[in-house]
Homo-oligomer: A and B are copies of this chain.
Amino acid sequence: MIRVVIADDHPIVRAGLKALFSIEPDIEVVAEAATPQEALEASVRENPDVVLMDLQFGSGETTTGAGATRTIRALDAAPYVLVLTNYDSDADILGAVEAGASGYLLKDAPPHELINAVRAAAAGESALAPVIASRLMNRMREPRVSLSSREIEVLEQVGAGRTNQEIAGTLFISETTVKSHLAHIFSKLDVASRTAAVSVARQQGILR
């Protein structure tokens, strides 16, 4: 029997997952969590085989889904974590994999794909949704520009409409440094202006 914890802030999604798993004789939902904290507590308490983890939780949460994944994976006899989310942005996928997720599924996936992924995860295998898999393939094939974390940080501020001066202020660096980062970003993304950089970054899933 595969023991599963569901972590998602949408009651509807939790009910849906429970309903889907209730049909499967070898899968049992042992706990539900509406916040990352609850997910961690449930993982410690129930010691499940698999945790289904959403990445986006409602505002007001201190921890993110990725953060919770990282913490859970650091437990003794840690359960496998399957990330289940709406978006397939590169940043999210990479963040999830980095945090130790053994699978990445989209919420519009057909149920059987989900069930298979749970079984695969419980067996210690990796399970990526086909969409995600092909996305990663593309990334490998065409060596994607990768921005450093600092550069992404700067770019996020730009996307929020801040000026270089303001960005310098919030990141505690000089305006010169901000412009330097931006120059690197521009050349990496092959653009000539901040707005174009934001636009391209959005398309490539670097920014949300």
Q: Mark A98-135, 1 if CB is under 8 A from B, else 0.
A: 00000000011111001000000000000000000000
User: What's the tally of chain A residues with a CB closer than 8 Å to chain B?
Assistant: 35
Q: Which residues of B contact A195 (CB under 8 A)?
A: 158-162, 194-195, 198
> So how many copies of this chain end up in the complex?
2
Given A198-B195, A199-B160, the answer on whether A15 and B10 have CB atoms closer than 8 Å is: no
Could you tell me if B12 and A111 are in contact, using CB atoms closer than 8 angstroms? yes
* Interface presence of A163 (CB below 8 A): yes
- Stretch of A16-24, A40-48, A169-177 lying at the B interface: A16-24
Could you tell me if A161 and B197 are in contact, using CB atoms closer than 8 angstroms? yes
Could you tell me if A12 and B13 are in contact, using CB atoms closer than 8 angstroms? yes
* Interface presence of A73 (CB below 8 A): no
